[in-house]
Amino acid sequence: PLTGSYMQFDGKGIYAEVLRTGKPVFINDYQNWEDRLVNDFTCGMTSAMQVPLNIEGKTVGSVGLAAFAEKIIMDEEKMAVFEQFAAVAAIAIKNALYHQQTNHLALHDTLTGLPNRAYLNRHLEEELERARRGQSAGAVMFIDLDDLKTVNDHFGHTSGDSVIIAAGNDIVSAAGDNAFVARVGGDEFVIILPGTDNEERIAPVADRLVGAIRREYEVRGKRIHMSTSIGVTLYPEDGVIAEEILKNSDIAMYAAKAAGKNCWRFYEQGMQQEDYEKMVLTNSLRHALENEELYLLYQPLIALDRKTVVGFEALLRWSSREHGMISPARFIPLAEQSGLILSIGKWVFAEACRFARKLADMGKENIRVAVNVSPCQLATADFSEMVRDSIEEANIRSQQIEVEITENVLIESLEESTRKLVELSAIGVQLSLDDFGTGFSSLTYLRNLPVTTLKIDKSFINEMLRDKVQEGFIRSIIDMAHVLSLNVVAEGVETEPQLSKLVQFGCDCVQGYVYSRPISQEDAIRFLLTPILSKERF
């Protein structure tokens, strides 16, 4: 159909008249017709006729007959034949349009208009067929927007949808003209990038994609910072089976998430193994509490001015029957991801409070016990209640317990967390900021939170004697903390030279192998009762 408006022809000519009136028109002396259209086509036209093509009551075009050299008389009879023909043509066109639309619907995502999973599968299969014949190579990228759930939760699904649409556009332009971009799930996109499976040529595209999404999206007047994680699989290098390629890209995407998000990873064979091990360990961890495989060690905190023990940090250990000793760096993230940290963390508090009770019974109720807290623990509604219950249960003074949080605890829900920490501080619980200097350190946190202690991360202490900048950094942290009336603990102090530097800088406390490794309850008590200067190393 010549869909158009009669205005297109300045209202001149037969077609314009059909479109305007929706009625058949015939002209037998075209050259003398006052509304004739003058152009190369009509210049030799003697007579002509057109009948409207109507679809759903709308004139969308016409069917016509024109005579040039010899004259053909146009009349009602000829017109009737053409009208029948136009009716049949209209039905055929309508069917074709309908098929086009349903096909589009079946193969495209309604939100972004991008190809959907069905289309992706079809396209990928065709592409891989070419690769199997050695006629193509390329990359498949699995893209997942980071933390879209948070956007949905905070700003509503409509805002989430706007971000998805905008991100989809960014992905399409960053991926380039050659790429096939599909949306395959809520916040998931897949790109097929034919051309090359050369890592060095794929990497810049992945960089560009991560960079394109790492920006602020404006949604209903609010600025939302987004980022994305991407997994990349190469074909035919990593495989030529669609299902496998998509699965491996997904695995690589999870590896990118695990590496801290806002980045991309090539698929590597070991990745699956890693995931499998995590799953197995997590399953064992589920039974660790009831099997009594968990216990706490205590590492002394020494005040530098008096060279006395002022507290202990409770550090969790897992001695698994099946897997042996597993380090906290390995199992705590698993406990966090699986939610097991909530029950484990509760046990840690109860156990640490029992230790504090023992100390109090020895008349050492001024010795603090510090407990590490994960972000997800602090996020639970009953966090302060849980801490209070453990303290009451053990019947100790709240001042004896110190809660250690890291800065990233606060990023997620600053207000909520602050409220809970203020609540705890009000009953006397001490609060320290752990691993200081490694996260998004902000003075605002320090001013608004009831923090009493800063713990300088051991990575700074490691570098202290080798690197002047690091040394200056430590000195400034200590000075700044003192301006804010905070206590400073240096963590991971291993050597005497480090110790004397810290004394020189006015650091309040140290914790580290130079005095003691984390030790059992019994050893901790013995350590406490021995004067520091005569201590053999623990």
Q: Give whichever of 65 and 258 is closer to ligand C2E, judged by the CB atom.
A: 258
Residue of 408, 533, 514 lying closest to 461 (CA atoms): 514
DSSP state of 238: T
Closest CA to 355 of 420, 422, 402: 402
Query: 147 or 494, CB closer to ligand C2E?
Result: 494
Q: Is the peptide bond before 236 cis (omega within 30 degrees of 0)?
A: yes
| Least distance between ligand C2E and beta carbon 336 (Å) | 8
Q: In angstroms, what is the minimal distance from the CB of 496 to ligand C2E?
A: 12
Tell me which of 17, 293, 435, 508 binds ligand C2E, using CB under 6 A: 435
Whole-angstrom Cα distance, residue 76 to residue 64?
13
Residue among 517, 520, 511, 521 nearest 537 (CA): 517
Residue 374 binding partner per list Mg ion, ligand C2E, none, with a CB distance cut-off of 5 to 8 Å that depends on partner kind: ligand C2E
Smallest separation (angstroms) from Mg ion to the CB of 463: 15
CB-based contacts of 495-499 (< 8 A; 24+ apart in sequence): 497/465, 498/461, 498/464, 498/465
Q: Between residues 23 and 517, which has the closer beta carbon with respect to ligand C2E?
A: 517
User: Which partner, ligand C2E, Mg ion, none, binds residue 115 by CB below 5 to 8 Å per kind?
Assistant: none
CB-based burial, 458-480: b 16+ in 10 Å, e otherwise: bebbeebeeeeebbebbbebbee
Structure tokens at 142: 């699995």
CA 323 to chain centre: 31
Element housing 178 (H / E): none
Residue 293 near ligand C2E by CB under 6 A: no
β-strands 47-55, 25-27: how paired?
Answer: antiparallel
332 binds, among Mg ion, ligand C2E, none (CB under 5 to 8 A by kind): ligand C2E
Q: Rule CB under 6 A: is residue 518 a binding residue for ligand C2E?
A: yes
Does residue 407 belong to the site contacting Mg ion (CB under 5 A)?
no
Q: Which C-beta is closer to ligand C2E: that of 143 or that of 464?
A: 464
Which of the listed partners (ligand C2E, Mg ion, none) does 233 bind, with a CB threshold of 5 to 8 Å by partner kind? none
**Residue 521 binds which entry of Mg ion, ligand C2E, none, with Cβ cut-offs from 5 to 8 Å by kind?**
none
Q: Which tokens go with 12?
A: 């001149």
Query: What residues contact residue 399 under an 8 Å CB cut-off, 6+ apart?
Result: 368, 428, 429, 430
Q: What CA dihedral angle connects 267, 272, 278 and 281, to 10 degrees?
A: -160
Site membership for ligand C2E, residue 332 (CB under 6 A): yes
- Which positions from 428 to 467 touch Mg ion by CB under 5 A, shown as an x/- string? ------xx--------------------------------
CA distance 527 to 538: 8
Identify any residues that bridge with 431 across adjacent strands, giving them in sequence order: 403
In the shown chain, the binding pattern of residues 353 to 372 toward Mg ion, with x for contact by CB under 5 A and - for none, equals -------------------x
In the complex, what is the shortest distance from the CB of residue 455 to Mg ion, in angstroms, rounded to a whole number?
Answer: 5
Q: Does 513 bind ligand C2E (CB under 6 A)?
A: yes
Q: Which residue is nearest to ligand C2E (CB)?
A: 512
Stretch that binds ligand C2E, among 113-121, 164-172, 231-239, 486-494 (CB under 6 A): 486-494
Which among 118-126, 233-241, 273-281, 511-519 is the span making contact with ligand C2E, rule CB under 6 A? 511-519
Task: Name the one range near ligand C2E by CB under 6 A: 4-12, 42-50, 208-216, 367-375.
Answer: 367-375
Residues β-bridged to residue 419? none
Contact 253, 230 (CB under 8 A): yes
The H-or-E segment that residue 82 falls in is helix 76-107
* DSSP states of 218-233: EETTEEEEE-EEEEEE
Nearest approach in angstroms of CB 405 to ligand C2E is 9
Q: Are 371 and 315 in contact (CB under 8 A)?
A: no
The verdict on 47 binding ligand C2E (CB under 6 A) reads no
Q: Does 404 bind Mg ion (CB under 5 A)?
A: yes
Place of tokens 């406390």: 509
Residues 311-330, one symbol each (x = binds ligand C2E by CB under 6 A, - = not), give ----xx----------xxx-
Strand segments (E) across 137-251 = 138-145, 180-185, 188-194, 215-219, 222-226, 228-235
- 494 binds, options ligand C2E, Mg ion, none, Cβ within 5 to 8 A by partner type: ligand C2E
Beta bridge partners of 453: 432, 487
Q: How far is the CB of 190 from ligand C2E (least distance, A)?
A: 36
* Positions 404 through 433 that interact with ligand C2E (CB under 6 A): 404
* Tokens linked to 98: 């309908």
Nearest alpha carbon to residue 6 among 56, 62, 49, 54: 62
Using rule CB under 6 A, residue 86 touches ligand C2E:
no
Minimum distance from residue 395 beta carbon to ligand C2E (Å): 22
| DSSP bridge partners of 185 | 188
Instruction: Provide DSSP, 89-111.
Output: HHHHHHHHHHHHHHHHHHHB-TT
Strands 188-194 and 294-303: unpaired
Q: How far is the CB of 368 from Mg ion (least distance, A)?
A: 13
496 binds ligand C2E, rule: CB under 6 A = no
Residue from the set 237, 244, 389, 494 that interacts with ligand C2E by CB under 6 A: 494
Which letter does DSSP use for residue 133 in this model? T
Least CB distance to ligand C2E at residue 406 (A): 7
From 196-204, 235-243, 254-262, 372-380, give the range in contact with ligand C2E by CB under 6 A. Answer: 372-380
Closest among 163, 196, 174 to 264, alpha carbons compared:
174
Residue 146 vs 404, nearer CB to ligand C2E: 404
Q: How many residues bind ligand C2E (CB under 6 A)?
A: 24
Q: Binding residues for Mg ion, per CB under 5 A?
A: 372, 404, 434-435, 491
Q: Binding residues for ligand C2E, per CB under 6 A?
A: 299, 315-316, 327-329, 332, 345, 348, 372-374, 404, 434-435, 458, 491-494, 511-513, 518
